[in-house]
Amino acid sequence: MIMAAKVYKFIVVGLGHISDHWLPLFSDQQKKMFGNTKRVEIAALVDPDQTTHAKREKYACGDAPCYVQLEDAFKEVESDAVLVLTPPQYHARYVWTAIQQLNHVLTEKPFVTEMNDLKHMIGLFKTIEEEHLICVVNQQYRWAPRMQAIRKAVDDGAIGTIGFITSYFNEPDYHFNLWWRQLHGDISAFNWYVHHYDTMRFLLKNRKPVEVYGKLIRVPYSKIIGESTVFLQVTFEDGIEWSYNGSQEGRGWKTPGQSMFTIHGSDGMIENPRDGPPMLYKVGDEKGVPLMPDPGDAQAPYPDYWHVTLKKFVESLDAKKPIDEDVTTFQNNIWTISIPMAARESHRQKRRINMKEFMESL
């Protein structure tokens, strides 16, 4: 007898801008992930702003009820998982509630924004393990074809042993036009640069940071209350050194959303340039060879790979464990989110942060 594939029921909390990328995956875009087999559906929608509830019709979410509070949804509907799309400052709260209800969790990045929240999340790992919950942070920049091509070249040894990396990101005059973007200290690092921090870990086979040194900068013409520019130095496992400069209040031209960087190894270097495909330069080769045809995404506002995260999440639910080491489980993502947290501490304390001591201090 052929068993029908399980359809996982999701409660979605937070129906703002980014939900426009997620909600279609539960209806007309489901094919992108699962062909003609239905694997996911929306059990309920939650947002305190009731004007957003009209998205139920806009995105054909069936008769899923809408609530202003997640707790009310749990009282009335059956669910397997919670998809958290709220402002970053509320992620920890909803993740906690979902896990108490023994639901699996998929949350947008950043995982959390405060050290105390990270401490509470780590405190949940025992429950997550005992209850076999799959808890994942969306970091979809990993799935962009250019990042996949660079990771493959690195893994295949195209540039030998990696020594150091330099990265640069400039997003001139960013809008910061929603309250949580203007009023939360170093939000640029948590909302944007975290993509670059996570992608760099991905390119380095999920290596962990060992030491972090950060300088957070508030430019005199800043629009926000915190620091929108960061100068960062990270030492990863195996002594790989990374220098990252990012700003959302720079001026002049824009770098790709995926940032510009150069990975230097014993046998050459790989460049993710401002325009065009990623390039491989072997020792003595100044012309270089493209690692892939130009994917044409250098100036894309976001890499559109939310569906890859959702597909991997569902496949991990089926397998009852993460399907591969690149799925950004909470246990994996603590090493991504620890980078902006340690940078903040480094800036405040004016010293390098040893990551083992930092994690043990939580």
Ligand X SMILES: NC(=O)c1ccc[n+]([C@@H]2O[C@H](COP(=O)([O-])OP(=O)(O)OC[C@H]3O[C@@H](n4cnc5c(N)ncnc54)[C@H](O)[C@@H]3O)[C@@H](O)[C@H]2O)c1
Size of the site for ligand X (CB under 6 A): 23
* Candidate list 48, 157, 239, 290; residue touching ligand X; CB under 6 A: 48
**What is the smallest separation between the CB atom of 231 and ligand X, expressed in angstroms?**
22
**What is the smallest separation between the CB atom of 303 and ligand X, expressed in angstroms?**
7
**What is the smallest separation between the CB atom of 108 and ligand X, expressed in angstroms?**
4
Binding mask 266-305 for ligand X (x = CB under 6 A): ------------------------------------x---
Q: Residue with CB nearest ligand X?
A: 16
Order of all β-strands in the sheet with 279-282: 289-290, 279-282, 268-272, 260-265, 162-170, 240-247, 229-236, 209-217, 353-354
Task: Give the whole-angstrom CA distance, residue 130 versus residue 271.
Answer: 43
Give the 3-state secondary structure of residue 173.
coil
**What is the smallest separation between the CB atom of 129 and ligand X, expressed in angstroms?**
25
Other CB atoms within 10 A of residue 26 CB:
22
Q: Toward ligand X, which CB reaches closer, 5 or 300?
A: 300
Q: Is 340 among the residues that bind ligand X (CB under 6 A)? A: no
Q: Toward ligand X, which CB reaches closer, 82 or 162?
A: 82
Site for ligand X in 95-114 (CB under 6 A): 108-109
* Candidate list 30, 79, 86, 258; residue touching ligand X; CB under 6 A: 86
**What is the smallest separation between the CB atom of 92 and ligand X, expressed in angstroms?**
11
Task: Give the whole-angstrom CA distance, residue 154 versus residue 67.
Answer: 47
Give the 3-state secondary structure of residue 84.
strand
What does DSSP assign to residue 4? P
**What is the smallest separation between the CB atom of 191 and ligand X, expressed in angstroms?**
5
* Candidate list 140, 188, 199, 235; residue touching ligand X; CB under 6 A: 140
**What is the smallest separation between the CB atom of 47 and ligand X, expressed in angstroms?**
5
CA angle 222, 232, 270 (to 5 degrees): 115
Q: Is 256 among the residues that bind ligand X (CB under 6 A)? A: no
* Candidate list 103, 170, 188, 191; residue touching ligand X; CB under 6 A: 191
Q: Toward ligand X, which CB reaches closer, 17 or 75?
A: 17
Q: Is 47 among the residues that bind ligand X (CB under 6 A)? A: yes
Q: Specify the pairing of strand 268-272 against strand 279-282.
A: antiparallel
Q: Is 160 among the residues that bind ligand X (CB under 6 A)? A: no
Task: Give the whole-angstrom CA distance, residue 141 versus residue 198.
Answer: 8
What does DSSP assign to residue 68? S
Q: Is 185 among the residues that bind ligand X (CB under 6 A)? A: no
Q: Is 52 among the residues that bind ligand X (CB under 6 A)? A: yes
Q: Is 14 among the residues that bind ligand X (CB under 6 A)? A: yes
The region of 80-88, 126-134, 288-296, 319-327 touching ligand X under the rule CB under 6 A is: 80-88
Task: Give the whole-angstrom CA distance, residue 293 versus residue 117.
Answer: 42
* Candidate list 1, 2, 17, 360; residue touching ligand X; CB under 6 A: 17
On the question of a cis peptide bond just before residue 340, with omega within 30 degrees of 0, the verdict is no
205 bridge partner residues: none
Q: Is 331 among the residues that bind ligand X (CB under 6 A)? A: no
Rounded to 5 degrees, φ, ψ at 315 are -65, -30
Task: Give the whole-angstrom CA distance, residue 116 versus residue 303.
Answer: 31
Q: Toward ligand X, which CB reaches closer, 140 or 316?
A: 140
The sign of the CA dihedral 185, 191, 193, 198 is: positive
Contact by Cβ (8 Å): 314, 95: no
Contact by Cβ (8 Å): 52, 73: no
Q: What is the binding site for ligand X (CB under 6 A)?
A: 13-18, 46-49, 52, 85-88, 90, 108-109, 138, 140, 178, 191, 302
